[in-house]
Structure 1
Amino acid sequence: MSKNIINHVEFPVADAERSRHFYEAVLKPLGLSLVRSIEPTRTAHGGARHGFGRNGYPSLWVHEQKEARCPIHVALTADTHDGVRAFHVAALANGGTENGGPGIRERYHARYYAAYVLDPDGNNIEAVCQTE
């Protein structure tokens, strides 16, 4: 039986290509990469889809959707504090907006080291390391 609770997460974005470029850059420090892209003609909703993950399995998907969207929060695991910092730098350099720089978040616990950014669609994306 798998230890993972969630198999994958998918959320809508206004521009799939813009988001693909953003997520390729910000997920790289976390060991995630683009695994699969699906053309708009092959999707049920008519927008491109891009899946990111590790070991050839896409666990985080974005799909283009032109209608109104509600922002979401996704927290992604980083193996090290350096990974959190690299995620944050990459996000800001690739169209992300500051939403909480790297640091310990005592309100959660003494080892909760995280950084928060808003992606180009206003989604709150977090990288967190809880092991150092």
Structure 2
Amino acid sequence: MSVIDHVEIAVNDAELSRRFYEQALAPLGFSLVISVNPANTRTGGLRHGLGPDGYPRLWLHDHDKTGSPVHLAFSAEKRIIVDQFWEAALQAGGKDNGAPGIRHHYHDHYYAAYIIDPDGNNLEVVCQIKSEIVG
């Protein structure tokens, strides 16, 4: 069970962000779970819920004030998933903010990659499993 149930982000364009996150987080098993019509939202904007296993863990909505960029970190069970996220996110239009690799300043098995999304948010996928250490 995840400690975090879901995260919600105000974005400039919910459709653009949905396409980005759907592609970038596909290696983590994320897909579109639900879309809410603007007539049924608090902000009057489009709302998308994405997540793994049919549960919306990430909500994106527009027509609301976007704030300072946020940092979202997602866990991965294998380093290959970190690599796949980084490649998928770049192909989806994200900007490189740190290629996959060990971040020794955290610890010797902190394998992560970072991407800036279309709204300037810093996304991270990290594998911290010691058994994934190679060499």
1:116 corresponds in structure 2 to 114
1:67 corresponds in structure 2 to 65
The verdict on how the C-alpha distance between 1:68 and 1:76 changes in structure 2, with shifts beyond 3 A counting, is closer
Tell me, in whole angstroms, the C-alpha distance in 2 between the residues paired with 1:66 and 1:8.
18
Pair 1:6 & 2:7 matched: no
Pair 1:104 & 2:102 matched: yes
Pair 1:24 & 2:27 matched: no
The unaligned stretches of length 5 or more in structure 1 are none
Q: How many residues align?
A: 130
Q: TM-score, normalised by structure 1?
A: 0.93
Runs of 4+ in structure 1 over 2 Å off: 65-69
Q: 1:58 corresponds to which letter in structure 2?
A: P
Q: 1:23 corresponds to which letter in structure 2?
A: Y
- Choose from 125, 128, 132 the match for 2:126: 128
The alignment yields a C-alpha RMSD, in angstroms, of 1.2
* Deviation at residue 66 of structure 1 after TM alignment: 5.0
2:50 corresponds in structure 1 to 52
Deviations 1:27-70 (A, max 9, x none): 10011111111111110111111111122111111111353421
Q: 2:38 corresponds to which letter in structure 1?
A: P
Q: TM-score, normalised by structure 2?
A: 0.91
2:29/2:53 contact within 8 Å kept:
no
SS of the residue corresponding to residue 58 of structure 1 reads coil
Pair 1:38 & 2:36 matched: yes
Tell me, in whole angstroms, the C-alpha distance in 1 between the residues paired with 2:26 and 2:10.
21
1:35/1:52 contact within 8 Å kept:
yes
2:85/2:125 contact within 8 Å kept:
yes
1:30/1:79 contact within 8 Å kept:
no
The verdict on how the C-alpha distance between 1:9 and 1:66 changes in structure 2, with shifts beyond 3 A counting, is closer
